[in-house]
Amino acid sequence: MSREINSLKSFHTFGIDARAYQITIAETAEALCQAWHASQQAGRPFLLLGEGSNVLFLENYAGIVAINRLKGIQISEESDAWHLHVAAGENWHSLVEYTLDKGLAGLENLALIPGCAGSAPIQNIGAYGVEFNQVCAYVDVLNLQSGETTRIDAQDCQFGYRDSVFKHRYREGYAIVAVGLRLNKAWQPVMTYGELTRLDPATVTARDIFASVCQMRRSKLPDPRVTGNAGSFFKNPVVNVDLAATIAAEFPQMPRYPQANGQVKLAAGWLIDQCALKGYCLGGAAVHRQQALVLINQENATGQDIVALAHHVRQRVGEKFNVWLEPEVRFIAAAGEQDAVEVIA
């Protein structure tokens, strides 16, 4: 179905009152292709959304928005693993709950991450020591022009920190229609972050980790159904060892996580908090009072309110720590996506 000149407010979690030329709810791959062809024939941009949990509309969108609502979960079994084929429009958190209800462990650290399954590989979503690439077997990608679907094995997805081939080669003219997951039967709990470190590895269950993750996220992150937001607004910066050591010399309590490549990941939320920015407001936008990493639509914010606030946060952190934050959120202008760093620089 489609609605002409319709509000996008209910289709993205920031809840900003931007509008699109047309919105199509796509429940099949054919509907996705039809929406894309309609945009090409009209000479208008095309945008694919799942639950809109990682986008910021800077202004009204001049093109056609297709809302991916492809559904279905299939499970198969091997001697050492469970295999899931998940349609892209399935809600991610509901998928995590579904697997636990079926007795399948492995996704529990990724509980309560907003969005659809099809968005997970784009960002290579991650939380509490686990990233999507660790459970991914493949991603099915639809060529919107030809209608053909190609299966891309995990090793060819070019997964990185909040990055993948789907942000680059498959960014335009393609749609993720399904993901394949592999959950090992020999389950190993990951308890390296936050309250998880207090759990007993000898007795812990996947349900215990799930419950702890949900409690942590709900205590820190605002519910987008109540307060518009896109979750973590900035990526956790990865810096060289020397810069991390320089900052740690002045702030020994700074959280830091050594990476396999010899660099160090810092906590963006902590850096922002050290600049005393919790609760800081610009226009209708604000830094969340409980979690500085989250920017919120506090009072009828516009996209430009959020941009101005993000610029201010980036400048303050850069001036204090010489660390320049990059948005995790995608910035959408009238004609399509823009480079978020350039917009807030």
Task: Respond yes or no: is residue 162 known to be catalytic.
Answer: yes
Strands (E), 89-212: 126-127, 130-131, 136-143, 149-153, 174-184
Task: Respond yes or no: is residue 198 known to be catalytic.
Answer: no
CA distances (Å), 253 to each of 193, 198, 209, 239, 274, in order? Answer: 15, 19, 26, 17, 11
Tokens of 218: 């709900």
Catalytic residue among 131, 232, 316, 330: 232
CA–CA gap between residue 135 and residue 158 (Å, rounded) = 14
Catalytic residue among 69, 162, 316, 330: 162
Taking a C-beta distance cutoff of 8 angstroms, is the pair 226, 283 a contact?
no
CA–CA gap between residue 256 and residue 237 (Å, rounded) = 10
Amino acid (one-letter) located at 32: L
At 20, phi and psi to the nearest 5? -120, 160
Tokens of 249: 């010399």
Which residues, other chains included, contact 84 with Cβ-Cβ below 8 Å and sequence gap of 6+? 73, 74, 75, 99, 104, 180, 181, 183
Residue 234, SS3 per DSSP: strand
Which residues, other chains included, contact 146 with Cβ-Cβ below 8 Å and sequence gap of 6+? none
- CA torsion sign for 81, 84, 85, 88 is negative
Q: Which residues are catalytic?
A: 162, 232, 328
